[in-house]
Every structure is written in C-alpha cells, then in structure tokens.
Amino acid sequence: MSIKVGDRMPEGKFKTMGESGPRDLSTDELFRGKRVVLFAVPGAFTPTCDAKHLPGYVGLSGQLRGKGVDTIACMAVNDVFVMNAWGKASGCANKVLMLADGNGDYARALGLELDARGFGMGSRSQRFALLVADGVVEQLHVEAPGQFKVSSAEHVLEHL
C-alpha cells in the first residue's frame, strides 16, 4: 500500500555524504519540526532526472524556501557516492540535499517502488514529490508511468 496525504512518514535511514565521508541520516533528523519537499527520481544521471527534475529544484530552491520550505531533498535508489557526484555535478550545494536509498528500502516503505528490470536498472523508486510537515504528508504528487509533470519543482511551487 502506498503512502497517502495525512500519513506519518515511515521511519528509515538514508546515506548522505558528510565532510568526513558517508553518514546515516534518519527520517527523524530529516523531517522533525521541518517542512520538507522530498522528491524522488528513478536514477541519478538518467535523462529526465538529470536534464529536468533535479535542475528544476536547484533553480527554484530559493523560491521554495521563500514559501516556507526548510529542506529540499532528492532521493534515488543509488549509492551515496553516485548521489554525491551527481549533486556536485548539478550544483546542489546548499540547495538540494542528496539522499541515497541504496537498497530501495525507503522507496519500498513508502509503497512507491518501481520495477525497472526491463531497463536493466533493477528495483528503483517511482518519480514523485512529497511535501512533509513535521513528519506528516501534506501533499503527494506521484507521476504516471513515463510522465514528468506533477513531481516537478514548478508544480510543487504552484501548490505551496
């Protein structure tokens, strides 16, 4: 069953790159007392994710924060080293927090996993965006297969 508006975000951990290397970031640390836009992509450096999805959030990060968003976070079923490299290549510093869900555990916990074996990518995350306030889902925007509309930074910004 997929997460829905009004649900509390499930507990879990992500990997992020800290100054001294990879570190765990709990969902409690990410969501408690904050307004967070969490968006997910099927994979780092993949065409739509790299050309449109992540750049939209980087470019609109100031406007999103101006609407009361404390943290903008990008999640993908990739390892922390790939997410760190993608964040650096995309100019994410101080704009978008890159979260590695390396085994897809959090995508599964949300009920938003994607079977991408047909593309040689294994189990991934669906493309989506969530607005979370103090750990509770306020908005949920899940893309239809092959689409990129409702999870875009522009769409999320319009609905804040």
Q: Active-site residue numbers?
A: 49
Spatial contact of 120 and 135, defined as CB atoms under 8 Å apart? no
Query: What are the CA-CA distances from residue 118 to residues 53, 84, 115, 137 (Å)?
Result: 22, 26, 8, 31
- Cα R_g (the chain), whole angstroms: 14
Tokens of 104: 């897809």
